[in-house]
Structure 1
Amino acid sequence: MFKCQICEQPAHGQHFGVVSCRACAAFYRRATLNPKKKILPNCIHEDGKKMDENGVFSCRRCRLKKCLKKGMDASKFQLERDLISSSLSMAEIPQTLSTFLGRPNFLLFCNPLEPSTTAKTVVDFSCLLERANELLKNGRWNPYNSEISSLEKMAMRYENMQIIKSSRLRHLSRMGKDETILIWEQKILNTTDWLTNFNEFNVLPLDVQLKIVKTIWQVYGRFEKIAKTAELRRKKLIEHDNVFMVGDEACLNSKNVEMDVSWYTDYSFEQIAYFMDCFHDDIYLQIVKEFETLNPTPIELNFMLLQVCLHHAGKKLHGDMLELTDYLQEVISNQLHNHYLNVRKMPNYSARLARMMKVNNLMRTDLRRQSEKVQLAMAFDVFKLELSHPEVMC
């Protein structure tokens, strides 16, 4: 039990730089802050201590003199503190952290039993980004007619990649470091490969191309696995509602897969499930169902994928990049329009387009919610990852 350095009664903590009781702290605040109650520390008592055995000062100037002598500092006043009156309605009281996160006592629940002493896991993207850069620089040879649009070329390439992957479908019983890193590698290279068929994208400076790849590869991967899951369910190749695609040729059952998260966090999977890309999320399941019902053609699917990716890149990168991504979205919109008119002979396609945009809006909502969860996880230091290129995981 510490004693107040002013009145020598039991202290309640450090106030304005001095261990003191609340009474002396309140006195010092009133005596120096309020102009109407301001006191000068000049008194007739030389020792500046006119106090009885119970810690009661008979001279306020003595008490202030003692506060200043012990080092109380007026610069430590918290002048911007919010005062919550009892007259405020519940709607006006700011949310607590637990209500904001939807998890009562969230920090206590998630706090590890023992502090971590392990180093962070370092993920070096340098080699992978060099491979992506070389792929962008050299382009990809493809036997497509030079007269077909970029949207058609990208749809053909996307379909070819899906055919190759589908022949090796396997079920994962465990998701750990090796599986996750492999999926990241696949998605970055697949995104790059796919974009090399976009003529209007290929004329951009190489550094701009790579910046877009680094920004959208996660969006591409999330969209692709949702679309592939819906397609396989529609074809009855996946019959269980808990089975989802996660990689090029890999799927898992979210109810019985073993999740090893020890390589990037000190918490258990159950503790950090809120932050994870959980397949039982309502909006995620809704998007899968919408894809099953919509059953988009390859051209429509690639338009939707491009539209979501470019919108995400423009929102993240801002400035000139926003103007660029808006221009690319306009290009593919015109190409989709020409496809409906000249290939499908379908001049009235507004209802179809509205259904596609409904799915894309759900995708954007899903991406925004996932991004907010990641930001919370980073703010509370949930993950122990150190990235060579942090912008890759934006």
Structure 2
Amino acid sequence: MTLSTCEICGQAAHGNHFGVLSCRACAAFFRRATLNPKKKLNLNCIHGQNLEIHRNGFFSCKKCRMKRCLERGMDASKFQLDRDMISTALVPNNSQTTPKMIPQTLATFIGRPNFLIFCNTLDSSPGPCKSIVDCNHLIDRATEILKNGSWKPFSPEMNSLEKLSVGFENMRILKSTELQYISHMGKDHTLLFWEQDMLNTAEWLTNFSEFNSLPITVQLEVVKSIWQTYGRFEKLAKTAEFRRKKLFQNENLFVVGDEACLDSENTEVDVSWFTNYTWEQVAFMDCFHNDIFRLIVKEFESLNPTTTELNFMLLQICLQQAGKKLKGDVTAVTDYLQEVISDQLHDYYLHNRNMPNYSARLTKMMKVNNLMRQDLRRQTEKTKLAITFDVFSVAFTHPEMMCGN
């Protein structure tokens, strides 16, 4: 391989610049002289025509150098056209006459800048095509539930926290069936449990009078932002309840759906439907061996909340998550709704429980909620990390539903 020479100065060339095979130094000179009107070069000739215009690539006269550039065909209109790529550039070796190839970087190889290498999207290339999970039907069903509102004949004297508590209990009773043990967790079960969580969240909120006064579009956005939080919280509370009732003798048993549970140590997990990695490689997303996750269940067992207390805790953390994620005017709405249920919890302790001093009880409830926030934050960070490194082989028609809070 022979090293091409610059047509301007005779030194090693690095590619086509402004339409001429040249080195970067001559290309930079031509660029400064023609493309920067604020820094025009002084192009007065400093010597006669018979003098050597350059020696070993060094020009003593800028005008002569510019003349050589123009004679060889450099054209400012060809800026950035036909220039050398990093992957094909040549550099001379100081100890050898044979030039060395500059090695390709990963960014050059796949044609994407470093900060986007691991951020593959559906319309980006290269990268494998992703399977699409269509959420439209599920969203339509949730919207219909919100539009129809609550069907329960509540007493006019009941406040929203009481209605939510009664509705929550009725949902549990109506959906109560024989407990099903799952030994294999795959696509079908996962999608079923997601559907249950989404629709249960919508149905639960129809019992919230102040929430029902919001536009349907806002209601739906809140549901989309909290359904994962609702499902996770409710399942942990139910797991604790089953342990208190001695229905779960094993600390590795967890509720994962409507009357469905699994043993975290004896369940086969199929991840092939959403990733090309193995379960061992994506096990960092496993929640059942999460220390905070397990601690929440124990705190629920110790607290043993009433249905009203449980609904207050669930509402508080869901509304905080919605306000944090949706921001803007929605935050003001969720702050107002939190004030409403706080006042109603106060009335509950005073009139229903005859407990004017309930600060100790409230402290224990907030301890559980703080642990829940830590758990949600940790899971969100893991999900975002997996998205950043393109772990998932599926994409969603409504990705805002799946990206955490």
Where 1:251 maps in the other structure, the secondary structure is: strand
Matched, 1:297 2:306: yes
- Is 1:120 the counterpart of 2:130? The answer is yes
Deviations 1:80-132 (A, max 9, x none): xxxxxxxxxxxxxxxxxxxxxxxxxxx99xxxxxx997531211111111111
Change (3 A) 1:127 1:8: same
1:368-387 correspondence to structure 2 within 5 Å: 368-387=377-396
Please point out which of 387, 393, 398 is paired with 1:389. 398
> What's the counterpart of residue 201 of structure 1?
211
State whether structure 2 residue 323 is matched by structure 1 residue 314.
yes
CA distance in 1, matches of 2:150, 2:364: 33
Show the 5 A alignment for 1:91-240. 119-240=129-250
What amino acid does structure 2 have at the position aligned with 1:366? Answer: D
TM-score normalised by the chain length of structure 2: 0.72
CA distance in 2, matches of 1:309, 1:359: 14
CA-atom RMSD in angstroms: 3.7
Choose the corresponding residue for 2:297, options 271, 284, 288. Answer: 288
Paired residues for 1:321-340 under 5 Å: 321-340=330-349
> Based on CA coordinates, which of the two structures has the bigger radius of gyration?
2
1:185-225: per-residue Cα shift (whole Å, max 9, x none)?
10011001100111111111111111111111011001011
The one-letter amino acid of 1:362's match is L
Shift of 1:344: 0.4
Any idea what SS the aligned residue of 1:246 has?
A: strand
Partner of 1:269: 279
In the other structure, the counterpart of 2:113 is none
Letter in 1 for 2:256: V
Runs of 5+ unmatched residues, structure 2 = 33-40, 81-116, 119-124
User: Residue 208 of structure 2 aligns to which amino acid in structure 1?
Assistant: F
For 2:337, the aligned partner's letter is L
| Aligned equivalents of 1:2, 1:120: Cα separation in 2 | 46
Change (3 A) 1:2 1:146: farther
Counterpart code for 1:361: N
8 Å Cα contact 1:265-1:384 kept in structure 2: yes
Distance 1:60 1:241 in 2: 81
**Residue 118 and residue 237 in structure 1: after superposition, are their counterparts in 2 closer, same or farther (change >3 A)?**
same
- In structure 2, do the counterparts of structure 1 residues 126 and 8 end up closer, same or farther at CA, with 3 Å as the change threshold? same
What TM-score, normalized by structure 1, do the two folds share? 0.74
1:249 to 244, 259, 280: 259
Superposed displacement of residue 386, structure 1: 2.0
Q: What amino acid sits opposite 1:287 in the alignment?
A: I
Q: Deviations over 1:129-179 (max 9, x none)?
A: 111111111112113322111111111121222234443211111111111
Shift in alpha-carbon separation, 1:248–1:3, aligned structure 2, 3 A: farther
Q: Distance in 1 between matches of 2:253 and 2:212?
A: 37
Matches within 5 A, 1:74-85: none
1:187 and 1:218 in contact (8 A); partners too: yes
What residue number does 2:121 align with?
none
Alignment gaps of 5+ in structure 1: 18-23, 34-38, 52-56, 74-106, 109-114
Asked whether the equivalents of residues 40 and 61 of structure 1 are also in contact (C-alpha less than 8 Å), the reply is no
Partner of 1:343: 352
Residue correspondences, number = 335
Letter in 2 for 1:196: T
Counterparts of 1:40 and 1:262, CA distance in 2: 67
d(CA) in 1 for partners of 2:274 and 2:127? Answer: 13
Distance of 1:116 and 1:359 partners within structure 2? 45
Per the alignment, do residues 5 and 123 of structure 1 end up closer, same or farther by CA in structure 2, a change over 3 Å counting? farther
C-alpha deviation, 1:25, in angstroms? 8.8
Farther-moved stretch of structure 1 (250-259 vs 189-198): 250-259
- 2:363 is equivalent to residue 354 of structure 1: yes
SS of the equivalent of 2:257 reads coil
Per-residue Cα deviation, 1:58-81 (whole angstroms, up to 9, x for no partner): x5879xx8xx999999xxxxxxxx
